[in-house]
Chain A
Amino acid sequence: MDRPFALLAELTYACPLHCPYCSNPLALDEYRDELTTEEWQRVLAEAAELGVLQLHLSGGEPLQRHDIVELVQCANQLGMYTNLITSGLGFSTRRAEQLRDAGLDHVQVSVQADEQALSDRIAGTTSFERKLVVARLVKKLGWPLTLNVVLHRLNIDRIGGILDMADDLGADRIELANTQYYGWAGPNRAELLPSRDQLERAQSVVRASRERLGDRMEIIYVIPDYYSRYPKPCMDGWARRQLTVAPNGDALPCPVAQDLVRGLELPRASVREHALEWIWAESPLFTRFRGDEWMPDPCRSCERRGIDFGGCRCQAFALTGDAARTDPVCHLSADHELVAAAVAAANDSTRPPGALIPRPHPRSLATAVGVGA
């Protein structure tokens, strides 16, 4: 069995943004009972012991936690590479300096578009100008800057402008990742999935930009798996390289596995009840899809089973109700029609636009962690 390299710590699901593509679970209220500072410190120590080298601090908005500096400091002392994934809201100069002094290695700032009106509309709150200030502050304090942009039908045509903006800000890396349909993105799929024409235009812009900017900026572009022949190698295999701990202490093999855990009726793997080492090595949840014993056909006899691992268990569950089926994205899947129909709808130019459901602000959560709404 491999040891995990990375831990995604979802510190809180409280977030000032309302992005309709958010991958947080729909049942946000079930994660209100957040781990304390001491509990997180214990989890980090156990993770380091288990072999975790990288810590991604995310959420929600991780800066909504008042103890973020302490947690960075703890991870840094354990030798971990620490990566803050933030909307930028709450990243004041003072907080930033404290984080730098605590040893934070890297900052990823999300942006929703390259201009204020669209960015703020997608985020559901005034945030664009603040994000630009934060991006410049990250550079000014000596960190390398990564911009994270989730792409979808409403902003993918702006990809050229987004890349120019990243270059103007001096970004060292930009991650342009097409939306994956988990959490709040699931019910918003019809309004988010881009057309084939949109994707082809975006890819040619990325290709040209890599030639122009490739020496000074790393451009990472993730295509939407709905348009792929084969599924993505999700998590590089179930419980193989990384793990997630949700705000309430639930450990997950994948950041979006909350619904799957409920659906499979497996016992929760909570860091409040078990050591991380037991969870990783022995818990029913983490061992359920490890390796390839669980695979049905066509995966079981497929020569790609060691490449894509049968695709995404959460997507199989979300689309078919059975987490052990082949990912319907694969053209060999018996359920592929589910994906093909969504793609056909996204390419139907006569379809009228619908409405997006914003990811709500969990006001009750904000109160629980002691921040203003």
Chain B
Amino acid sequence: MPSTRPMARIDDTARPRLAPHVRMRFDAARGQHALLSPETVWVVNDTGAAIVELCDGRRTVAEIQADLQSRYAHVADGDVHRFLADLVTKHGMEVHRG
């Protein structure tokens, strides 16, 4: 029985932050960032790490996307939403509305 639930929906006005049991660190042995939780390690690329760093529960998704797009030319509309929706679905990220 799959443990996943339906993909979460992420609105522009949502304010994401890491779930309380998750933290990010740079993994020097492998040269990449990792999100650590009790049973899982999620490897994230540099763009993903930049997104997570902005997820402080205050900034909105729209603000995070604008910030990323000002720094990285390759970030398309919807990339941030998809990245966050995946993490929310896996219980790695929480979103606060309004």
Please report A residues at the B interface, Cβ cutoff 8 Å: 3, 5-6, 49-51, 53-54, 79, 81, 83, 105-106, 108, 144, 146, 172-173, 175, 203, 206-207, 210, 214, 218-221, 223
Contacts and interface: CB of A to CB of B under 8 A. Distances in A.
B1 A53 contact: no
A50 B1 contact: no
Contact of A221 (B3, B19, B30, B36): B3
B5 A106 contact: no
Interface string B7-37: 0000000000001110101010110001011
A54 B21 contact: no
B41 A173 contact: no
21 contacts: A49-B29, A50-B29, A53-B27, A53-B41, A81-B23, A81-B38, A105-B38, A144-B19, A144-B20, A146-B38, A172-B19, A172-B20, A172-B21, A173-B38, A173-B91, A175-B39, A203-B1, A210-B5, A214-B5, A219-B3, A220-B3
A207 B36 CA distance: 27
Given A3-B29, A53-B34, A83-B38, A218 B91 contact: yes
B38 A108 contact: yes
B5 A53 contact: no
B1 A105 contact: no
Contacts of A3: 29-30
A79 B25 contact: yes
Nearest to B6: A214
Contacts of B25: 53, 79, 81
Contacts of B1: 203, 206-207, 221, 223
A206 B5 CA distance: 12
Contacts of A51: 27, 29-30
Interface residues of B, number: 18
A289 to B, nearest CB: 22
B12 to A, nearest CB: 20
Contacts of B27: 51, 53
A175 B3 CA distance: 11
B45 to A, nearest CB: 17
Interface of B: 1, 3, 5, 19-21, 23, 25, 27, 29-30, 34, 36-39, 41, 91
Nearest to A48: B29
Contacts of B20: 144, 172
A263 B70 CA distance: 60
Contacts of A5: 41
Nearest to A146: B38
Given A3-B30, A51-B30, A53-B27, A144 B21 contact: yes
Nearest to B41: A5
A105 B1 CA distance: 29
Contacts of B19: 144, 172
A81 B3 CA distance: 23
B34 A105 contact: no
Contacts of A53: 25, 27, 34, 36, 41
B44 to A, nearest CB: 13
Contacts of A206: 1
A62 to B, nearest CB: 15
A206 B2 CA distance: 11
Contacts of A144: 19-21
Contacts of A79: 25
A51 B23 CA distance: 17
Given A105-B38, A144-B21, A173-B38, 13 more contacts: A6-B41, A51-B29, A81-B37, A105-B21, A105-B36, A106-B38, A144-B20, A173-B21, A175-B39, A207-B1, A219-B3, A221-B1, A223-B1
A221 B3 CA distance: 7
A243 to B, nearest CB: 14
Contacts of B37: 81, 106
Contacts of B5: 210, 214
B43 to A, nearest CB: 9
